[in-house]
Chain A
Amino acid sequence: MDVLIKDLGLLINAMLIATPPLLLAALGSCFSERSGVINIGIEGMMTIGAFTGAVAAYFTGNGWLGFLCGGLAGAAFGLIHAIACVSFGADQTIAGTAINFLAPGLAVFLCKALFDNSSDSPALDTAAKLPKMFNGVFKSGSFFYNVLCTYPVAYLCFALAILIWFVFYKTKFGMRLRAVGEHPQACETLGINVFRTRYVCVILSGFLAGLGGAFVTLATVSQFRPSVIVGQGFIAIAAVIFGKFDPVGSMKACLLFGFCNGVKALLGGSNVVSPNLISMIPYIVTILALVLFVGQSRVPAANGKPYMKSK
């Protein structure tokens, strides 16, 4: 029994490290998609966030400051995506593909420029990483130690998911952003500024994705590497589709996918199941969800359609 509880603690611990980057990016994706702008650039925005977060923390020695800078770097690319898609009516998938070239390219470029042609940033001291909470309160290795002595951000992002759900469904801004994603023409006639709403949502999506990326380097990996994000941005997008474009639904999906990552991390070197097969699960689950519940995960009606003011 004790062993079981201990294992459960370890699993929860692994989930609490694997889920936040996915969840933060997925919440960002919710903003963008619900306002009618497809954002597959989430992956690139996470990468630039991971890089900026690590570098800012390295130079300032402050994990929280690094975390914020990661978010801002993501937001900057959100702005680029918004300019292309909202103001210039670019094809959103193509613009997102461009972001996925630009942001990781820029991250590695700057890394090499800053750190003597090395594509990895120097390892961060524990002091420069995000802090953990309840230090020294519980016995190392016990269940509560594994569950509670972790990064406060891990718990905060679940609260954030619920907060964003509240914003979406209980506030004027949320109502507007959802309306803009469904029928921008009607919104314009009602005096809602479609452009401004979409700008805010896409920049927010970049900010949250950047935070998600920064969590990876500031909590898990302790340095930037070009392969630090691989696919997490796309898992986040998958989670949003699986979660029916809803913040809380996305959170549940992220927990499921975080569970997969947690299991993968726990099994580690053991050869019970190939980690590569476990890695496929989020994508296969999403495909199955799309096939089985087609229509239920309804894409916002104006998603992907550039909106141009008629003169």
Chain B
Amino acid sequence: MNKKNSILKGNAVYVFLSIMVGFAVGAILLLVAGLSPGEAYGKLVDGIFGQTKYIVWSIVYASPLIFTGLSVAFSFKTGVFNIGAEGQFVVGSLAACVVGIVVKAPAAIHVVLCILAAIIAGGLWGAIVGVLKVKRGVHEVLSYIMFNWIAFYLSNYVVNLKAIHRSGGGEATKDIADTAKMKLPDAVVAATRCGAANWGIFLAIGAAVLIWFIMNKTTLGYQLRAVGFSKSAAEYGGINTSKNFLIAMSISGGLAGLGGAVQVLGMSGRISQFASQEQFGFQGITVALIASSNPIGCIFAGLFYGAMKYGGTKLSLVNAPAEVVDIIMGTIILFIAISHIFKMIVAKRLHKKEEDK
């Protein structure tokens, strides 16, 4: 686990270089495919910043990613790798969607009920894996991956239930009730000209600040970080590591679940049958890595990824495949993952220089 943490202590220089390499690899691929990188990247930038509504759309895309990023970052700090954010996000969005369809309640209360359901569902999904780890010694990465797919098929199962499935065309659920939607006031929506403008980003910023506070200013946060830093040392210092793993994995799951609620209540309003994983959780891993697991950094990293995702949808206008965004992001993760060896080399050199003096 120490290795994991040392990777995560990456500084901005390496992250920045990794992002540059990512764009360079994307550009090379575009060239190979006979497309102009200048044109494609130009379209990407224009598709994000060209109009006010584009910027708002980018923020809408970013909000759920900030949550999954926070979820992964929070788990990293405790020395757990929450590769299960994907599944927690799915059960969170599923719970929010079902409550949004089935329950009848006044507007403000309905939204809160949906959000609570999502947090509980995601939290439980994470807690089960925590219990398996603590009680039975099952490696969490393995069970997270299994639970991702169980969530995937569970969602597809529920989407097809008669009471939930929409009548008429489309492999999707009914729309959630208007009372469950997280839309911003009509005047604001009209001003931004983005129909999906919602409260998600404010929730995300609030959550990031809260997580930063818990991590750095509370006893719980201190204990969680101690466990992440060295499990045996924390145990020796009288910290109940099992309890802390459970708490961390539940909170991490709850955050991802909340991200799912933001996606359903804020943007999509329903869940479609999955053909493949939607990747919100895996994209959260990228967000956490770019942010070096800093909760406040997750806001900016999430905005970056959200913008890339939204801008990527415009690439087809210049006949460039949107998948170039996946390739850029994959390259960024790969280079952040291998950058720690350069950090070690640099540290060694610096150390030697000091000794020579």
Residue ranges of A at the interface with B (Cβ–Cβ < 8 Å):
38, 40, 80, 84, 88-91, 93-95, 97-102, 104-106, 108-110, 112-113, 117, 226-227, 230-231, 234-235, 237-238, 241, 274, 276-277, 279-280, 283-284, 286-287, 290-291, 294-295, 299, 305-306
Contacts and interface: CB of A to CB of B under 8 A. Distances in A.
Contacts of B7: 90-91, 94
A290 B327 contact: no
A112 B321 contact: yes
Contacts of B148: 234
A97 B137 CA distance: 23
A109 B321 contact: yes
B146 A95 contact: no
A159 B61 CA distance: 49
Interface residues of B: mostly helix, strand, loop or mixed?
A: helix
Contacts of B137: 294-295
Contacts of B81: 93-94
Contact of A294 (B136, B147, B275, B331): B136
B208 interface: no
A274 B321 contact: no
A36 B282 CA distance: 24
B334 A234 contact: no
Contacts of B340: 89-90
A102 B138 contact: no
Contacts of A234: 145-146, 148-149
5 contacts: A88-B341, A95-B334, A102-B331, A276-B153, A306-B3
A97 B333 contact: yes
Contacts of A241: 142
Interface of B: 3-4, 7, 29, 33-35, 81, 83, 132, 136-139, 141-143, 145-150, 152-154, 156-157, 160, 275-277, 282, 285-286, 289, 316, 319, 321, 323-327, 329-331, 333-334, 336-338, 340-341
Contacts of A291: 132, 136, 138
A91 B4 contact: yes
Interface residues of A: mostly helix, strand, loop or mixed?
A: helix
A254 to B, nearest CB: 16
Nearest to B282: A97
B153 A277 contact: yes
A80 to B, nearest CB: 7
A93 to B, nearest CB: 6
Contact of B338 (A84, A230, A305): A84
A294 B316 contact: no
Given A93-B83, A101-B330, A290 B3 contact: no
A230 B323 contact: no
A108 B321 contact: yes
A299 B138 CA distance: 10
- What are the 9 tightest A-B residue pairs by CB atom distance, in nearest-first order? A105-B326, A101-B330, A102-B330, A113-B33, A88-B338, A98-B334, A90-B337, A112-B321, A276-B157
A291 B147 CA distance: 14
A95 B335 CA distance: 9
Given A108-B323, A113-B321, 20 more contacts: A40-B141, A80-B334, A84-B334, A90-B337, A90-B340, A90-B341, A93-B81, A95-B337, A98-B330, A100-B282, A102-B331, A105-B330, A109-B327, A227-B275, A231-B149, A234-B145, A238-B146, A280-B154, A290-B136, A299-B139
A306 B157 CA distance: 40
Contact of B157 (A106, A113, A274, A283): A274
Contact of A110 (B33, B329, B330): B33
Nearest to A286: B146
A305 B3 contact: yes
A115 to B, nearest CB: 11
Contacts of B276: 226-227, 230
A222 B7 CA distance: 42
Contacts of B138: 287, 290-291, 294
